[in-house]
Amino acid sequence: MTPDIDNWRVDTRPGGWLRLQQPDGERATVYLRYRLSGPPGEERLTLQTIIVKDEDGEGLSGRVWRRVPLSKVERALAPLTATNLPAPQAQAVAEMREAFRPTEETTSLTVEQLDEYFEEGSPVDDLIDRIRSEVPDTPSSPPVLAEPDAASLRPPEGRLTDAFLRKVGDAYKYYASIGNAPARDIAEQANVPVRTVHRWVLKARERGILPPARSGRAG
């Protein structure tokens, strides 16, 4: 049985891909690609790609986009980064993490290729349901994205560091996930002009901290 989150059907495929679909009404489709990164015991689940479309292949309206349950999807996946689990749960998590290992074949896919991948590819058996049943929420399973605070967005003196740009990237993903304008909200938090945030985001993309802004392709 395919799991639902806020009435969105969720399917999974190897390579960290998820597909969210509304079965009724808008019939919107959202493709998400997540990646596990970091050393063992300190792994983080990061959102690498978002591709959205409606049934006609066009982009989603702002009204529909605000209903996409990104935060709840990421809370459902958060146990994959849990630590200090009992042996049976730790083994289950280790197996499920493999679904989020990047592969050369699935990293850069067009919308058409994603449609085919999800219709014909091998599913990751009910990953969301398996996480829910085998790895219940624990204090060591934090949300993937946390609301940023102003202190974390204070730019360092001199060169923009990777550590700071990662905080900008996390804030950008957070505000995008709740349907806000990321650059505007980050600018308000950091008390800087929006054009300054645009420069930070550009630097984050150049250093691979945020995916490239490419239309119609995974990135």
pLDDT at 76: 80
Q: Supply the Cα-derived Rg of the chain in whole angstroms.
A: 18
pLDDT at 36: 77
pLDDT at 217: 40
- Name beta bridge partners: 21: 9, 29
CA distance 211 to 198: 14
Task: For residue 142, give both structure tokens.
Answer: 């934090």
pLDDT at 216: 43
Under DSSP, the state recorded for 41 is T
CA distance 56 to 58: 6
- Name beta bridge partners: 34: 47
**In the chain, which residues have pLDDT < 50?**
1, 138-143, 216-219
**pLDDT digit string (tens) for 120-169?**
866 665 666 666 666 655 444 444 556 677 777 888 888 889 989 988 98
Cβ pair 52, 67 in contact under 8 A: no
CA distance 185 to 194: 9
Side chain identity at 146, as an amino acid letter? Answer: A
Burial string for 153-162 (b: 16+ CB within 10 Å, else e) reads beeeeeeeee
Which element (helix H / strand E) includes 47? strand 44-53
Cα angle 113-121-14, degrees, rounded to a multiple of 5: 90
Cβ pair 175, 183 in contact under 8 A: no
**pLDDT digit string (tens) for 166-177?**
889 888 888 886
Side chain identity at 32, as an amino acid letter? Answer: L
pLDDT at 68: 79
pLDDT at 70: 80
pLDDT at 124: 67
